[in-house]
A = this chain, B = another copy of it.
Amino acid sequence: MADVQTSLYQVIQSLLESKKYSTLRDMLSTLNPVDIAAVFQDLPELSLPLLFRLLPKELAADAFVEMDEDAQELLIKGFSDRELKDVVNELYVDDAVDLVEEMPASVVKRILQQTSPDMRKMINEILKYPEDSAGSIMTIEYVSLRPKMTVDEALQRIRRTGVDKETIYTCYVTSEDRRLLGIVTAKSLLLTPGDARIEDIMEDNVISVNTFTDQEQVALMFNKYGFLALPVVDQEDRLVGIVTVDDAIDVMTEETTEDIEKMAAIVPSDKPYLKTGIFATYRQRIPWLLILMISATFTGLIIQSFESALAVVPALIAFIPMLMDSGGNSGSQASVTVIRGLSLNEIEFSDLPRVLWKEFRVAILCSATLVAANFVKLLLIDRVSLQVDLVVCLTLFCVIIIAKLVGCSLPMFAKKLKLDPAVMASPFITTIVDALALLTYFAIAATIIGL
C-alpha cells in the first residue's frame, strides 16, 4: 500500500464515520479511478457498496474496472439489476471480457443478462480466442474509415462515434470486406487540409498481428516500435480488433513477473503476492523444491562414493561449498543474461556459436581472476599443502568454464525445443553444475594426489 493511499484511506475512513457523505462525494470525484479502486479495496467490505454509490456514474464504472476480482464480485452481488446494467454498459468490451473471465458462473450469468445484445455478441467473439493470444486482449471498439472519405468526413465520423472507442488516435482504413488498407493518425487528420482524401494521407505499410499471435510477442512489438495501438487481423487479413498500449504494458509487466518467478523456481501466478493465499503460494513453490531436492540427491551420491578419498584428505571437504557456489553463480550469470536476451528477442538460437564463444572467453577471464585470488588465499591464509591448493584451483578453473557454457546453452536449447527458457535459470543450473563440479573435483584430486 503506497503512502498516498494510506493517508487517503484515513481521510475516507473519518469522513465515513462522521457520515459527511457530500464532502466524501466531492472529494472522491477529484480522484483518479485507479486511486479510488486502490483505496476502496482496503476499506472494510461493508462500506464498499455505500462508497461506490457516492461516485458519479462514469467514474464509478472506471473505478470498478480497476478493482481486483474480490471487490468486483462483492459489489456485483450487492448491485440491483439497474446498477449492474449501468456499470456494465459503461465498460469497454475488453474490460467486460476480463470481468466475465474472472467472475464465478452465477455472477457471469447476471452480468450477461444485463448486457445489451450487441455487447454480448462482442464479448462472445473475444472469448473464443485462446488465452494469452492477441485476440484475447484486443478490443473491437476502434474507429474505422473508408479510403474515399475526405479528412473532414473522417473527423465528422470520429465526432459521431468516437466517444465509445477505446482510442481515436489511430484510425483504421478498411475496404468493404473489412480488409485493412492502412492507418491514419488523429495527428495527421488534424494537420492535413480538410478536403484531402484519406487514401492519399494514410500509411499503407501497416504492421499488424494475427489474432493467434502470443500476447508476449504483441507486447514486444509495442516495445520495439513505440506504437499507441496495433491492429489485429484474422487469417483472411480482415481487421477484427486493436490492442492499445495500456493493455500491452499490462501484458509486459505480467510476462516479466512470470519470467522472474520461473527463474526463481516458482510456478507463476497472476495474482499479486499479498493477495495470494498461503496454500496457493505453497502450490507455486513446492513442485520445484521437491524436484530440486531429489536432484540434489545425486550430488550427495557423488560425495558418498568418494567418502573414502575424503577420509584420506579431509581438507578437501572444506572447499566443496566454495566450488559449488562459485560454479552455480557463474552459471546463473550466463543463463539469466541469455534468458533475458531471448525474451527481448535480442538473441536467437542461430546465435548459439557466438554466445558460446563469447561465454568461453568471459569464463577464461573470470576463472583466471578467481583462481589467482584463491591460490594466494589457500597458501597464505588456509595454509593448505601445494597439492591441495593445485587441486582446488584447477577444479575452480574448470568449473567456471563448464558452468558458463552450460548456463548459456541450456536456455537456448530449451527455446529451440519450444520449452520455456526461463526454467533453465539459477536453481536448475545450480543443481547440474553442483554435480559436475564434484565430479571434476574428485577426478582432479585423484590425478594429482593419487587417491
Contacts and interface: CB of A to CB of B under 8 A. Distances in A.
Interface string A311-330: 10011011111101110111
A120 B223 CA distance: 29
A448 interface: no
Contacts of A226: 34, 246, 249
A162 B186 CA distance: 11
A362 B278 contact: yes
Interface string A267-288: 0000011100011011001101
Contact of A223 (B1, B253, B307): B253
Interface string A134-160: 000000000000000000000100110
Interface stretch (A76-84, A109-117, A296-304): A296-304
B346 A289 contact: no
Contact of A317 (B159, B224, B294, B307): B307
A190 B205 contact: no
A434 B274 CA distance: 28
Contacts of A257: 340, 344
A148 B290 CA distance: 68
A354 B321 contact: no
Contacts of A162: 187, 190-191
A274 B47 CA distance: 55
Nearest to A168: B187
Contacts of A10: none
A30 interface: yes
18 contacts: A226-B249, A252-B252, A260-B336, A265-B333, A273-B341, A282-B366, A285-B333, A285-B362, A289-B330, A289-B366, A293-B325, A294-B373, A296-B322, A299-B325, A303-B318, A303-B320, A325-B431, A329-B427
The 4 lowest CB-CB distance pairs between A and B, nearest first, are A226-B246, A264-B336, A299-B321, A296-B322
A215 interface: no
A329 B362 contact: no
A348 B1 contact: yes
A152 to B, nearest CB: 12
Among A264, A321, A328, A338, the one with the most B-chain Cβ atoms within 10 Å of its Cβ is A321
Identical copies of this chain, number:
2
Given A186-B186, A190-B158, A326-B296, A205 B30 contact: yes
Contacts of A325: 292-293, 296, 299, 427, 430-431, 434
A377 to B, nearest CB: 8
A46 interface: no
Contacts of A307: 314, 317-318
A261 interface: yes
Given A273-B347, A293-B326, 16 more contacts: A158-B190, A162-B187, A222-B249, A260-B263, A260-B336, A265-B332, A266-B333, A278-B362, A279-B365, A286-B366, A286-B369, A292-B329, A293-B322, A296-B325, A301-B318, A307-B317
Among A274, A354, A362, the one with the most B-chain Cβ atoms within 10 Å of its Cβ is A362
Contacts of A30: 205
A249 B251 CA distance: 12
A121 to B, nearest CB: 26
A426 interface: yes
A190 B151 CA distance: 13
A278 B358 contact: yes
Contacts of A294: 373, 377
Interface in A148-203: 155, 158-159, 162-163, 168-169, 186-187, 190-191
A317 B159 CA distance: 77
Nearest to A275: B346
A245 interface: yes
B290 A32 contact: no
Contacts of A155: 190
A13 interface: no
Contacts of A319: 300
A276 B159 CA distance: 50
Contact of A273 (B256, B261, B337): B337
Nearest to A3: B348
Contact of A365 (B259, B286, B338, B362): B286
A374 interface: yes
A48 interface: no
